[in-house]
Structure 1
Amino acid sequence: MHKKVLNIGIIAHVNAGKTTLTEQLLYKAGAIHQLGNVDKGSTTTDHLALEKERGITIQNTCVSFDFKDLKLNIIDTPGHADFSDEVDKALQVLDVVILLVSAVDGIQAHTLNLWENLREQQIPVLLFINKIDRDGAAIETVFYELENELGIKGFCLNYPTTQNELTSISSVNKEEEIIAKSFENLAELDDELFEQYLEETLDYTDIVAAKTQAFIHSQALIPIVFGVAKQGIGMEDIIDIISSFPSKNTVQSCQKNAKVFKIEQHPKFGKLAHIRVYSGTISSKDIISCKRLQAEVKINQLLQNTVGKLAPITTLKTNDIGIIAIADNLIVGDILGDDLPQNQDQNKLKSVLSVQVSALTEKDYHPLAKALQLLDTENPALNFTWYKSEKEFHVHILGPLQSEVLIHTFKHRFGIEVSINAPKIIYKETPKTTAEGYVRYWMPKPCWAIMTFKISPGAPNSGVTFSSSVGVNDISQKYQNEVKRAIPWSLKQGIKGWEVTDIEIELVKGEEHTVHSNPGDFLLATPMGVLRGIENADTQLLEPYYQFEIKAHQDLLGTIQSSLVKLNAQIEAPYFTDEIFRLKGTVTVEKAMDYNIVFSSITSGKGRLKLSIGGYQPCDFTEDKSREYRGVNPLDEAQWILHNRGAFKADDRMR
């Protein structure tokens, strides 16, 4: 009988104790025999030089081990918001998550972001209230903060009798306030238990424990464990409840099915692709289809990270996590085998900041290009763009700490000294009105592609839609497929130099030639026709904005509102809970890039500011917000044709 496989994620805001908790769980489970230390850079999951140096987690790290009748894969994730794309990649493959909250600091802004992601992806959660031994720890305050801010019914599975001792729920005094609240939450979910609660006869018997576990698994109750990760206090309670969770629902099919969630380079095994298997069994030497490549991929070798070392394995079964070695053609997000359920493949708006990366010496220009291409396969969120004619490299980032990490990575991993400029806002464009774009590509022969595109504004934050009302007698389906394939390239740069979005594109007229037409003609002609239509429609500039939520003492309301007015923020009416107010609204990213520093100064670090990308909205256009077209512009049709004819793969914009 195969062991149940459980994939566990450990997430939290920065410095909450995630890596320390991971280390203790590995130790308590017998997977390691000596505890590592974050401050000394000796933990199992932090292996990058900068992780050891700074004591922070930058990349997801998965450790696999057996525990009793279980196979456990634990993924330690970064806590800093600048690396939230790493957390998002991990969430796609997890069965259950341990979310840490400090008993001293309580809920932080990033905690709320993480919670919303967990709810959106319907991943079960255990809340671990850490650092209960610290001065200033307020377990009851944090308990009610969790209930109120997260909108949950909490259930405590243990209770601290002293700073270093815990009592299980079956033995604790039910008159303790948050224990009484836990039993009240439980009773509200079951009529029989509610009667016992009213009669004051509700005890934590085996029957009640079984019902509690069922409610925890359904997340009607959210389990809460108190402890001190650094001292290993509370670890047994975590292991007991986590082990009881079922694996995430899997694809009901005997077909092989997996997803790549991480790419990295290894000095011995080359390019590694980390995968979760959702269905079937994947074995070494298997040949499996890749949806993106539209081709088959051979599994050269399978590996697993067994506590600090990569060990060869022969098979990966349903739900398990492992590594494909020598995975040269795979990238993050690749689906192997059948399609995944819809909730397994999500794309979110993340970065709205761009930086230019430059080598300090000319000799490092091409090595830097190769390094950036490599990093882009490991982290597609970088969205690396190489403007070859301008000899410029640009990547997307989430914040300044990511720039620091990139500089360190280029120096220590690739031996390249680089500079990175200050982050710049990524604007976008959308059509102002409906217009048509016509293209006739018929010279020099052999070629023939004649098309008319209808360009219309799309709904806000709707992205790109493409349709065709042209029959296959006018343009064959194989040629229309090439038109559709060229749409993303066509929109990379609009007439103001930015990506075009919130647009509806319809192919309304066209013709092919039975002798002269070939698929490449329509691939080449599409950007000319689409850009011509966008030019005729003109574009509205769009800028990114934050949705903000503020929590602070009522005495600071006036000062905070004044600071937001200076940013031209849109502010909703505040609402109050005792002496604390909450304030929501929106503000442009351009205005609020440094507002976290201002806010921290106003509140002396005691307020909470949550910023999340809300989307894009129209803004006033000024010349400083436009960019020159990089590379060959499709609106210069003669040059575009000469540049691209027979050289589609040479142009980085056509990929």
Structure 2
Amino acid sequence: MAELTDEISKRRAFAIIAHPDAGKTTLTEKLLLYGGAIHLAGHVRAKKDRKSTKSDFMALEQERGISVSTAALQFNYEGHVMNLLDTPGHQDFSEDTYRTLMAVDSAIMLLDASRGVEPQTIKLFKICRERNLPIITFINKMDMPALEAFELLDNVEKVLGISAVPLVWPMGSGRDFKGYFDLYGKKLHRFERTTGGAHRAPEALSGIEDPQVRELMGEAEHDKFCEDVAIAGEALPAFDKEKFLRGEMTPVLFGSAVTNFGVEHLLANLTDLAPAPRPIVLDNGETLKPDENRFTGFVFKMQANMNKLHRDRVAFLRVTSGKFERGMSVNVPRLGKEVKLANPVAFFGQERTTIDTAYPGDIIGIISPGLYRLGDILCEGNPPTFHPLPRFAPDVYARIVLTDTGKTKQFRKGITELADEGVVQLFNLTEQTPLIGVIGQLQFDVFKYRLEDEYGAPVRLEPLPFECSRWISKEDAEKAGRFDKIVYDELGNPVLLFESQFRLRSFQEQNPDVVLHMHPIVI
């Protein structure tokens, strides 16, 4: 028990949420640099020829410079085991991000200093708030033209409705950004740029009244800086860790991921402030404590073909209680049977390492020959009633047409495995040309790319004239109008497609007794 408690206290499972182009993937890489997981930004130890960002393991991500799939990255920092989940930033992949946020205990909210809070940030923040996730805010790109610090803090509070308390105060912005003053440590941190931000930024500590600082900033700028620091320290509320842990307050840090300014301070505060795995309130009102002796966990992500050297499928599992040991047998309630977990792996982007043990807060990979599904519970003893993983009604639909009939086997395997991952939702699977539904257009691009690149199945996607859908009972399916279309998901549940939101509202007015569901009850 003492060993389990000690290991749990070392764990930090967190995600980064951000609007596209806020610098999320860059920050991820720099956290790895300061965590010692890589010694040069873009490179992994002993693999100097690899320059792509470690969290973007998919070829499409590396080509486009976007994150379209959650990646798990584990590294050690100051005696802590850090489990970082790099989530997709694009809104079309919000379902993947939502599932990922159910597998972490805290989040870093990344903001662009020139823009403040943006639309996708608002959506992701709401998800964090629903889960009462503590959030640390990092205002990035201070090395570029930026809004005033007070304006940024005000923006966070007014738009998100959360108290924003600075832990540091920025020393200039744009080309004049040279560091920050630690409001609680009472030290000025000055940085020097490194070539391409590839190495840790050299840092000098001093007092705010240091003559060198006054000379560096100039008399007028230094006076204003000292005045702002005084106002921030006296007029703004003090940081309250309990309010932070309840999701009522966010500590704010300023920096620049691309130049490494402020990254180590962020990492240090993450280990100090973010919680270790906490008890989970279950659907039945009971509480699952991480230090319970029995092992439990849930599958929050599926991924096929992460590495072309390993043509397999991996189930990403969040350990929620007890100790995981390689070779142990666990129950899979959905299957009604026991399975042996013989080859568990830990991830570092695309790379995998066989592991012998894991603890609450850890993310492990289970090699899956089609055995597991999203939302599966793996446990010893009775299964905990976790909240079901979300699955949203698609907004965009298309018919999939295989253009090379000699690739039918690859086609069927590809669409099934990608649907299991949650990349798309499949409908009318028994037909020769099934339908797929997605949240946004970019998912179509990823689906088509991966079918052709990973499975060798060339396809054509034919858009359908529907823009919203709802699940409906089998008894009510016959009430569909001539402008609507009934399709069936992979479990045989009827789904009603509407050509417009107007048509959806008309159907509801005409059939007030029919219940329409945004998502199925279970996955």
TM-score normalised according to structure 2 size: 0.75
**One-letter code aligned to 1:168:** D
Residues in 2 aligned to 1:306 and 1:128: alpha-carbon distance in whole angstroms = 23
Corresponding residue for residue 618 of structure 1: 506
Could you say what secondary structure the match of 1:355 adopts?
Answer: strand
Q: Which residue of 1 aligns with 2:333?
A: 291
Instruction: Evaluate the alpha carbon distance shift between residue 28 and residue 387 of structure 1 in structure 2; reply closer, same or farther with a 3 A threshold.
Output: closer
Distance 1:183 1:98, change over 3 A: farther
Conserved 8 A contact 2:133-2:246: no
> CA distance change for structure 1 residues 361 and 544 in 2, over 3 Å: closer, same or farther?
closer
The verdict on how the C-alpha distance between 1:257 and 1:544 changes in structure 2, with shifts beyond 3 A counting, is: farther
Q: 1:620 to 1:7 in 2, by over 3 A?
A: closer
Checking the alignment, whether the CA contact within 8 Å between 1:269 and 1:326 is kept in structure 2 is: no
CA–CA distance in 2 between the matches of 1:323 and 1:394? 30
Q: 2:417 aligns with which of 345, 359, 374?
A: 374
- How many angstroms apart in 1 are the aligned matches of 2:377 and 2:417? 20
Query: Among residues 148, 155, 172, which one is paired with 2:165 in the alignment?
Result: 155
Is the partner of 2:463 in helix, strand or coil?
coil
**What is aligned with 2:441?**
400
Identity, % of aligned pairs? Answer: 24
How many angstroms does 1:363 deviate by?
2.1
**Distance (whole Å) between structure 2 residues aligned to residue 426 and residue 177 of structure 1:** 50
Give CA-to-partner distance per residue, 1:460-501, whole Å, 9 cap, x none.
Answer: xxx77xxxxxxxxxxxxxxxxxxxxxxx77777765564599
The 2-side partners of 1:408 and 1:183 are apart by 55
SS at match of 2:98: helix
Contact 1:154/1:182 (CA < 8 Å) preserved in 2? no
1:458 alignment counterpart: none
TM-score, normalising length from structure 1?
0.61
Candidates 304, 314, 319, aligned match of 2:356 = 314
- Quote the residue 1:270 is aligned against: 312
Q: 1:347 to 1:369 in 2, by over 3 A?
A: same
Name the residue aligned to 1:260.
299
Question: Cα offset for 1:387?
Answer: 4.5
1:258–1:277 contact (8 Å) kept in structure 2: yes
Bigger mean CA offset, 85-94 vs 160-169: 160-169
Distance (whole Å) between structure 1 residues aligned to residue 102 and residue 478 of structure 2: 31
> Matches of residues 380-391 of structure 1 in structure 2 within 5 Å?
382-388=424-430, 390-391=431-432
The more displaced of 28-37 and 135-144 is 135-144
Distance 2:502 2:278 in 1: 38
Q: Does 1:224 align with 2:234?
A: no
- Whether the aligned pair in 1 keeps the contact of 2:465 and 2:499 (CA below 8 Å) is no
Q: Which moved more, 1:286-295 or 1:267-276?
A: 267-276
User: In the TM superposition, what whole-angstrom CA distance separates every residue of 1:202-249 from its partner, at most 9, and x where no partner exists?
Assistant: xxxxxxxxx733443333321111110101111122112210222232
Q: Is the CA contact 2:298–2:375 (under 8 Å) kept in the aligned structure 1?
A: yes
Q: Report the alpha carbon displacement of residue 354 of structure 1 after superposing the two structures with TM.
A: 1.6
Aligned to 1:605: none
- 1:489–1:543 Cα change, 3 Å: closer
- Taking the aligned partners of 1:618 and 1:276, their CA distance within structure 2 comes to 43
Q: How does 1:399-438 map to 2 (within 5 A)?
A: 399-425=440-466
Give 1:99's aligned residue: 109
Within a 5 Å distance, the mapping from 1:496-575 to structure 2 comes to: 496=481, 498=485, 543=498
Give the structure 2 partner of residue 42 of structure 1: 52
Aligned residue type for 2:276: S
> 1:165, 1:54 → 2: CA distance?
32
- Report deviation, 1:617: 3.3
Give 2:361's aligned amino acid: N
* Residue 70 of structure 1, CA deviation: 0.8
1:104 positional shift: 1.0
Partner residue of 1:180? Answer: 231
Aligned Cα root-mean-square deviation (Å): 3.3
Report the counterpart of residue 552 of structure 1 in structure 2: none
| 2:402 counterpart (327, 345, 359) | 359
CA-to-aligned-CA distance 1:114-143 (integer Å, 9 cap, x gap): 111110111111111111111244433222
| Conserved 8 A contact 1:32-1:307 | no
Q: Which one-letter code corresponds to 1:21 in the other structure?
A: L
Could you say if the C-alpha distance between residues 500 and 23 of structure 1 is closer, same or farther in structure 2, counting changes exceeding 3 Å? closer
Any residues of structure 2 matched to 1:434-513 within 5 Å, and which? 495-496=480-481, 498=485
In the TM superposition, residue 168 of structure 1 has moved relative to its aligned partner by 1.0
Give secondary structure in 2 for the equivalent of 1:186: coil
Q: Does structure 2 conserve the Cα–Cα contact (< 8 Å) formed by 1:155 and 1:182?
A: no
* 8 Å Cα contact 2:129/2:247 also seen in 1: no
Cα pair 1:19 1:43 within 8 Å, conserved: yes
Q: Distance in 2 between matches of 1:345 and 1:125?
A: 23
Counterpart CA distance in 2 for 1:112 and 1:143 is 15
User: Is the aligned partner of 1:164 residue 2:164?
Assistant: no
> 1:394 deviation in Å?
1.1
Shift of 1:269: 7.0
CA-CA distance at 1:52 after TM superposition: 0.6
Q: Partners in 1 of 2:304 and 2:429 — Cα distance?
A: 25
Cα distance, 1:428–1:234 mapped onto 2, change above 3 Å: closer
Distance in 2 separating the partners of 1:493 and 1:421:
26
Q: Which runs of 5+ in 1 are unaligned?
A: 188-210, 430-462, 465-487, 502-526, 532-538, 546-587, 591-615, 623-654
Mapped partners of 2:360, 2:108: distance in 1: 22
> Matches of residues 13-52 of structure 1 in structure 2 within 5 Å?
13-36=19-42, 42-52=52-62
Rate the CA distance shift 1:226–1:278 in 2: closer, same or farther, 3 A: same
Query: Which structure 2 segments of 5+ residues have no match?
Result: 44-49, 189-207, 209-224, 280-287, 511-522
- Paired residues in the alignment total 437
Paired residues of 1:140 and 1:178 also in contact (CA < 8 A): no
2:517 corresponding residue in structure 1 = none
Pair 391,328 (structure 1): closer, same or farther in 2 beyond 3 Å: closer
In structure 2, do the counterparts of structure 1 residues 418 and 327 end up closer, same or farther at CA, with 3 Å as the change threshold?
A: closer
- Local SS of the residue matching 1:104: coil
- Which residue number corresponds to residue 118 of structure 1? 128
**Secondary structure of 2:142's match?**
coil
3-state DSSP of counterpart to 1:336? strand
2:157 match: secondary structure = helix
Moved more, 400-409 or 109-118: 400-409
Superposition deviation, residue 99 in structure 1: 1.0
Partner amino acid, structure 1, of 2:339 = V
> By how many angstroms is 1:304 displaced?
0.3
